[in-house]
Amino acid sequence: MKILPVVLETLSITRVGTTGVYFDYSSADLVTYKIPLQINDENYYIPAISATSFKGLLRSVYERYLRKEKSGNVSGSGNQKVLENIKNLNYEERTLIFENLKEELEKYVYSGLIDKVGENLEEVFKQYLEITGYGIDKACYVTSDLDRCENLALIEDEKKRKLKEAWIKLTGRKNLCEVCKVLGTSGVRGFVKFTDLVAVDPFPVLLERITHVAINRITGTAEKGKLFTEEIIPAGVKFLGFLAVLEDSLTERVIEMLKVLREKARKGEVWIGGRGSSGYGTFRLYIPGEVMEFNSVIFKGKFALNISEPREGLACERKIICKLFPETFINSLNPVTEGEVTFIVRVETGEEYEAKNGEELKEVLDKVKDKKYEIKTRGVWSLL
Ligand SMILES: [Zn+2]
């Protein structure tokens, strides 16, 4: 098992949903997810990003990446090969898939992505791939009944099972797609466990409340007396969480997922929580290989985020942070003292920079921030 620490820092105001345990007397109409924490007989409710939300975001971003970007677009790549799989289907399978794909595509007619649904299986499958991406052999869309991987052994309805079997034949998947193999799916256990991401810096976080006016959808004017308040997390809050990868050989794949998410977040293409289209929820993600500085009452200092085995250690002597996470996880955060570790920043275009401490590293990263780069460390906390 490998432990991977991650830190999500909000760059704009953020609202994350309330799934999970929630209890608060002074609540707003729309509240933020919080976890209870007891310190010296006092109860606190600490804002957090639920494990489910973070996992969902990571999955959806990576699904799209495999389906669309990594597989290139239609013309010019060899991906049209997948269309040839139609030949492997018998009459019954063709009919089943055609009926179901037509239904799936109707949704896209309503949203204006296509004008009308095609008239035969070749046409509709091509339409589907053009909208959802040609990397269909690599990733399913877990939100689609038709497309998502499922444990076939658990499907009781025979017609549904036949449809799924035909779908596997058509898409060229081997039972599970590359994402479900790692994260699991309906009836299949995944190999990655996620903790909640908890706001550790500043601590405690002062939540803000914003009052909105409800707008009448038809007249476009304010509805009399319809105000609602919303609890929001300010910008600049650092949420700490951990991923436990149960199968070591999958660690690299999980790191790739995190890198894709980090990159999308950097470009502002994804957000966490609600109201993303209004600019809420932009963030910066820090992943293993990077150094983080925390400066709050419960968590202070510079830490290298390292991939490690779960480790016992001294991290938890009387510390509040250990009420939030297992000690064996926290030990994947290694305190960095100046001079003991050298960071090497390698830019895509070939240049290399060396930094001897966190300050220098920050300067280097500022210099290369518009390019693609990777950071390696040399010294006590080798990440390789
Ligand atoms: Zn899948």
| Whether 280 contacts 274, CB under 8 Å | yes
Instruction: Determine the angle formed by the axes of helices 91-110 and 121-132, rounding to 10 degrees.
Output: 50
Residue 75 alpha carbon to ligand 1 centre in Å:
25
Cβ count near 199 (within 10 Å): 26
Residue 67 alpha carbon to ligand 1 centre in Å:
11
In sequence order, the 6+-apart residues with CB closer than 8 A to the CB of 112 are none
Q: What is the pLDDT of residues 150-198, one digit of tens each?
A: 999 999 999 999 999 999 999 999 889 999 999 999 889 999 999 999 9
Q: What is the pLDDT of residues 292-339, one digit of tens each?
A: 999 998 888 889 999 999 988 766 666 888 889 998 999 888 887 655
| Whether 140 contacts 134, CB under 8 Å | no
What is d(CA 127, CA 140) in angstroms, rounded to the nearest whole number?
A: 16
Q: Enumerate the domain spans of the chain.
A: 2-60+197-335, 72-134+140-176, 338-384
Residue 65 alpha carbon to ligand 1 centre in Å:
13
Residue 104 alpha carbon to ligand 1 centre in Å:
17
Q: What is the pLDDT of residues 59-92, one digit of tens each?
A: 999 999 999 887 655 444 456 788 889 999 999 9
